[in-house]
Amino acid sequence: MRLLFSEFKESKNFRFLVIVAALAFIPTIGLVHLFDWDEINFAESAREMMATGDYFQVQVNFSPFWEKPPLFFWLQSLSMHTFGINEFGARFPNALAGVITIIVIYFLGKKEKSERFGTIWALLYLVSFLPQIYFRSAIIDPIFNLFIFLSTYYLFKALTEVELKNKRALWAGIFCGLAILTKGPVGFLLVFVTFLVFIVVKKFKILPTFKQFIIFALSVFAVSFLWFGAEVINNGPWFLVEFINYQIELFSQGVAGHEQPFYYHFIVVFLGVFPLSALALPSLIKRKRDSELEQWWTILFWVVMIIFSIATTKIVHYSSMTYLPLSFLSAIVIHEMKWEEFKKWTRWVYVFLASFLAIAFAVLPMVGIFNESISPYIKDPFAVAGFNNPDVSWTGFEPLIAVVFVTGIILFMRFWKEGKLVKALQFKAVLISLTMSLTMIFVVKKIEGYSQAPMIEFYEDLQGQEVYVSPIGFKSYAQYFYFQQPESPNAHLKMRAEKFNNEPVLYAPLEQEVKLFLLYGDIEHDAYLVTKIQHEELDNIEYIKLLYTKGGYKFYKRESVLTESNEVPN
């Protein structure tokens, strides 16, 4: 900590990085509702930890949730204890992780090469598109990626340097264990496969000592045992078995409609991680590396890309671990290079990607501004009805946000041509961060108004009432977090007890029983139900009342059977 304050005091570049990162990631994170599914799902697990006081059993809707370990939810719980059960509290751990990641990159770059290199490396990561988005989110990956990054770095140092080899093996194991506690065994897989490929490339001339191997293995085991071991001891192996089965399912099957072609992550990284994808190309395609560290990060990049390209389930953020090594490779390429020295084809790739994103920033708000002209060409009734949300209004100036982005690109190229690369990146960091913040405030918030805001506002209005709340005909987690679903009354727990003997059960059969109960059963509490606009089943049940329609949703109420006015046919 003393080193941190000393650097902040002495280095203008470091002060700039910390201040811009904090201003980029933190102020806007509470302005937009959490998005279904992952953001709301994870925040709900943290909320239920707070509600039950059980911080070891990961739950959603007070039922076992075996898809993820608890570390990220612990961090969210701590944040929500501080800032409240809201969007800011749910997203703050990642915003803080973003600032920490920039700091870590700076210090590692300074240690490996120079203060200038560390500044350039950190700025490159700060100006990148998808990292800017993820550090403003409530998904697990930014913190998971930081742990993997640190684990692989310390493992590399343990393998390649003489001093402090055992201590570095210990830190590598600790961070690997933390990655496992954050997202599961994939944390160990990425580190271990990177290690295997590296020693094979080095023809087994670089190997850990037996003592290093034991230190690393024991530290990984000790940290991950904090939860995995305690869970098995306290509740038996069933939860661990389900967890492992789910990981296998993710790898071998397309879960929840996320099956994509093999090349999916290559497109995501190429288009989404601008400017890293363009600037790192010369390093990725060359055969000989300038240093073993460059070789190590290149191996990590390809390990992540190949593993998640082979996996059947592909979600956009699964390949996000590539961004950190890619940022290092970008810094290696450009830190002593002038714009004119960049290969012509690489400069064209950079300009193409910059143009693509500039058009995207301009076109995205136009979809809302000109929705009446676009709606006749949209076949999805839900999307068409969503455009009719009266709470969403556009000024017409939103596309001008693209001008801020383009200005950042132009100034970046101008100052780089003048040999002022750090200054070029600093201008770009400010303007790209401003672009993302303005987009969050004036575009994303309105787009979210079309997609889910009416449903969330409906749930928020019902908080604290003893009622049943449920979507019908589609899957969502929004009702749990935004209604702040209690343990009782709870239709899911009731049906699990009555129909499945309180045993853990997969989503589909339980959801079907809940639907039948809420629509046709003897409910003892009023039920508030949400469907998408094209769903008609509830319209044909005479004792279920349509309250109103808003956006792409219809909202209903069914009174309890204890209410005389509610006549349920036998």
In the chain, where the domains are located: 2-336, 347-451, 456-558
- CA-CA distances (angstroms) from residue 146 to 50, 203, 434, 520, 534? 26, 29, 24, 49, 43
Report pLDDT for 119.
95
Please compute the mean of the pLDDT values over residues 68-82 and round it to a whole number: 95
In angstroms, rounded to a whole number, what is the distance separating the alpha carbons of residues 210 and 544?
69
- CA-CA distances (angstroms) from residue 78 to 43, 88, 91, 479? 12, 12, 12, 22
In angstroms, rounded to a whole number, what is the distance separating the alpha carbons of residues 82 and 104?
25
Report pLDDT for 489.
92
- For the record, the structure tokens of 538 come out as 């509830």
Report pLDDT for 569.
42
Query: According to the 3-state scheme, what is the secondary structure of 443-480?
Result: HHHHHHHHHCHHHHHHHHHCCCCCCEEEECCCCCCHHH
- For the record, the structure tokens of 56 come out as 């070891």
Q: What is the DSSP string of 416-442?
A: HHTT-HHHHHHHHHHHHHHHHHHHIII
Lowest-pLDDT choice from 142-156, 223-237, 287-301, 546-560: 223-237
Band the pLDDT of 312: cuts 50, 70, 90. Answer: confident
Extended beta strands in 129-250, E state: none
Give the model confidence (pLDDT) of 282-294 as tens digits.
888 877 777 899 9
Q: Specify the pairing of strand 527-532 against strand 468-471.
A: parallel
* 8 A C-beta contact, residue 456 and residue 33: yes
State if pTM tops 0.75: yes
Please compute the mean of the pLDDT values over residues 53-76 and round it to a whole number: 89
Band the pLDDT of 432: cuts 50, 70, 90. Answer: very high
- For the record, the structure tokens of 185 come out as 């065994």
Report pLDDT for 570.
40
Helix (H) or strand (E) holding 413: helix 401-417
Extended beta strands in 193-308, E state: none
Please compute the mean of the pLDDT values over residues 409-429 and round it to a whole number: 92
* Contacts of residue 498, Cβ cutoff 8 Å, sequence gap at least 6: none
Give the total residue count for the chain: 570
Band the pLDDT of 37: cuts 50, 70, 90. Answer: confident
Give the residue carrying structure tokens 């383009």: 406
Band the pLDDT of 88: cuts 50, 70, 90. Answer: very high
Answer whether residue 376 shows pLDDT above 70: yes
Q: What are phi and psi of 531, to 5 degrees?
A: -130, 165
- For the record, the structure tokens of 555 come out as 């909202």
Number of H-type helices and E-type strands within the chain: 28, 6
**What is the separation, in whole angstroms, between the first and last Cα of the chain?**
70
Name beta bridge partners: 313: 259
* 8 A C-beta contact, residue 498 and residue 527: no
Give the model confidence (pLDDT) of 470-483 as tens digits.
999 998 999 999 99
Please compute the mean of the pLDDT values over residues 85-97 and round it to a whole number: 96
Answer whether residue 145 shows pLDDT above 50: yes
Band the pLDDT of 255: cuts 50, 70, 90. Answer: low
Answer whether residue 275 shows pLDDT above 70: yes
